[in-house]
Amino acid sequence: MIEFENYLSPGRKGHLIGIGGVSMSSLGEVLHGMGITVTGSDMNDGSNVQGLRKKGIEVFIGHDAANITPDVEFVVHTAAVHEDNPEMQAARAMGIPVFERTQAWGAISKEYNNSLCISGTHGKTTTTSMCTHIMMAADKDPTVMIGGTLPLLKAGHRVGHGNTIIMEACEYYNSFLSFHPTVATILNVEADHLDFFKDLDDVKKSFREFALRVPADGVVVANHDDANTMDVVRDIDRKVITFGLTHDADVYAENIEFLGGKSRFDVMYKGRLFTDVTLHIPGIHNVVNALAATASCISLGIKPNAVKYGLAGFNGAGRRFEYKGRFNGADIYDDYAHHPGELKCLLDAVEQLDYKRNIVVFQPHTYTRTAALFNDFVEQLKRPTVIFLAEIFAAREKNTIGISSADLAKEIPGALFFPTFDVLEGALKVIAQPGDVIFTVGAGDVYKIGEDLLKNE
């Protein structure tokens, strides 16, 4: 079997199918930074594609067999690209090795002495971003791959020259089992991606395999307060450092104060004060994320001041409680939450803020998730003052279930379903007023609603 690491040397040439995505564009830049000639293709000419071109990477719009030239030595594709793709077919016909994106990232992670991989059903992007801030404050010059945009980097990635790589590690399709973590962080484990996993036990099995990818001298960082996570790491033959809000955890918080949209607390490590932290984003879930980031960085020998100042400089990642602007006196935020657990964390944080009305525009993500977690979604979506529902974002799926956001609306008192964004935006224009906070929520394109409102302000 040909390994991707065989191609990680200057002068090689590769082609990336679907290069415009967050993870793939980051991969393209990292490979380019290693001296590898990179070309790519994507269906859309977006900002990521334009950024790649500015760095000298040739990107084709549209997928065409002609894009696979004879000098291409390897091809990388996303999980969304299938065997009927013309570039995939061309590569196979020419005998060019084809790799999935996570295989490439996994091979790259082997190149670093320290490979910090952040996993979990939710909180990955925020915690990976916090770790990045801490490691930058510690002058470790890390390479970074995040599933979202971090303002500090002005991107979702960074090509560093230190001996540390920080990576967001997703469980979908067992992707993170291609990684080689020296520190594997597990934030939480819940039933999700049930179009791939059979059930919660199957999800837990995957996370345990991920934890076991840590070498004998590595560390597993685990959420002490999450029963599923602790079940995953029970009796594991690896060093485990726990974090949480209870004093039974290795890393925990004391003297938590919430002050408007920020929090202050002391971080304790094994019963002693490690540092004090001021966090400029709201919510108890972000306190937990900060504890996870601290525990992860402690595992890498990072000193207290780097944690203190790294977290103090963190103001959130793109599409994570992201302030967008003001419309008719109402504050507009956007958030990526698309699982009931994420919705709970978001709404808990929103309810701490001093707004008269919480208006939530929610776009469910995938038919299978909506159906499998239907009652959990209903429970959380009953909480906002006003709830508007956009139609389900299909992503990679076809609606073989016959489910709609209209089905959610029937179970939520006062909820309104809007089949199109135009009609939904019109309704928001009518009701938005000072004292309101409007959240566009979901992993699809619901963020466009807030952006459209602000264009017309």
Asked whether residue 353 is assigned to any structural domain, the reply reads: yes
What is the pLDDT at residue 1?
A: 60
Asked whether residue 8 is assigned to any structural domain, the reply reads: yes
Same domain for 118 and 59, yes or no, is no
Give which of 330, 317, 243 is closest to 287, Cα–Cα: 243
Give yes or no: 125 in active site: yes
Asked whether residue 107 is assigned to any structural domain, the reply reads: no
Integer Cα distance of 152 and 406 in angstroms:
39
What is the pLDDT at residue 371?
A: 96
Same domain for 234 and 155, yes or no, is yes
Mean pLDDT of the chain: 94
Average pLDDT over residues 231-235: 97
Give yes or no: 344 in active site: no
Same domain for 196 and 335, yes or no, is no
Please say if the pLDDT value at position 192 is more than 80: yes
Asked whether residue 106 is assigned to any structural domain, the reply reads: no
Asked whether residue 317 is assigned to any structural domain, the reply reads: no
| CB contact at 8 A, 439 and 360 | yes
**DSSP state at residue 365:** B
Range of the domain at 430: 322-455
pLDDT tens column, 61-120: 999 999 999 999 999 998 778 899 999 999 999 999 999 999 999 999 998 999 999 999
Same domain for 70 and 194, yes or no, is no
CB proximity list for 18: less than 8 A, separation 6 or greater: 24, 40, 41, 42, 77, 78, 80, 81
Pick the last residue of a domain from 256, 278, 312.
312
Instruction: Say which CATH number the domain at 256 has.
Output: 3.40.1190.10
What is the pLDDT at residue 44?
A: 86
Instruction: Say which CATH number the domain at 32 has.
Output: 3.40.50.720
Average pLDDT over residues 176-192: 95
| CB contact at 8 A, 133 and 294 | no
Q: Which of 29, 87, 168, 322 is labelled catalytic?
A: 168
pTM, whole model, 2 decimals?
0.85
Between these two residues, 343 and 317, which has the higher pLDDT value? 343
Same domain for 262 and 359, yes or no, is no
Asked whether residue 261 is assigned to any structural domain, the reply reads: yes
Domain count, the chain: 3
**Per-residue confidence at 357, pLDDT binned at 50, 70, 90?**
very high
**Per-residue confidence at 163, pLDDT binned at 50, 70, 90?**
very high
Q: Which of 124, 140, 204, 308 is labelled catalytic?
A: 124
Instruction: Say which CATH number the domain at 353 has.
Output: 3.90.190.20
pLDDT tens column, 387-414: 999 999 998 789 999 999 999 999 999 9
Pick the last residue of a domain from 101, 133, 156.
101
pLDDT tens column, 123-148: 999 999 999 999 999 999 999 999 88
Taking only Cα atoms into account, the Rg of the chain, rounded to an integer number of angstroms, comes to 22
What is the pLDDT at residue 108?
A: 92
What is the pLDDT at residue 441?
A: 97
What is the pLDDT at residue 260?
A: 80
Average pLDDT over residues 442-447: 94
Asked whether residue 406 is assigned to any structural domain, the reply reads: yes
Integer Cα distance of 260 and 64 in angstroms:
52
Same domain for 94 and 130, yes or no, is no
**Per-residue confidence at 30, pLDDT binned at 50, 70, 90?**
confident
pLDDT tens column, 264-319: 999 999 999 999 999 999 999 999 999 999 999 999 999 999 999 999 999 988 88
Same domain for 241 and 365, yes or no, is no
Same domain for 144 and 272, yes or no, is yes
What is the pLDDT at residue 36?
A: 96
Between these two residues, 44 and 428, which has the higher pLDDT value? 428
Q: Which of 78, 121, 125, 294 is labelled catalytic?
A: 125
Average pLDDT over residues 409-425: 97
Integer Cα distance of 204 and 236 in angstroms:
13
Same domain for 251 and 328, yes or no, is no
What is the pLDDT at residue 396?
A: 77
Same domain for 444 and 358, yes or no, is yes
Same domain for 268 and 147, yes or no, is yes
What is the pLDDT at residue 155?
A: 83
Pick the last residue of a domain from 312, 337, 370.
312
Average pLDDT over residues 168-190: 94
Q: Pinpoint the alpha helices (H) of 365-420.
A: 367-372, 374-381, 405-411
Give yes or no: 385 in active site: no
Same domain for 413 and 357, yes or no, is yes
Q: How far is CA 233 from CA 106, 181, 184, 241, 444, in A?
A: 22, 15, 11, 11, 32
What is the pLDDT at residue 442?
A: 96
Asked whether residue 154 is assigned to any structural domain, the reply reads: yes
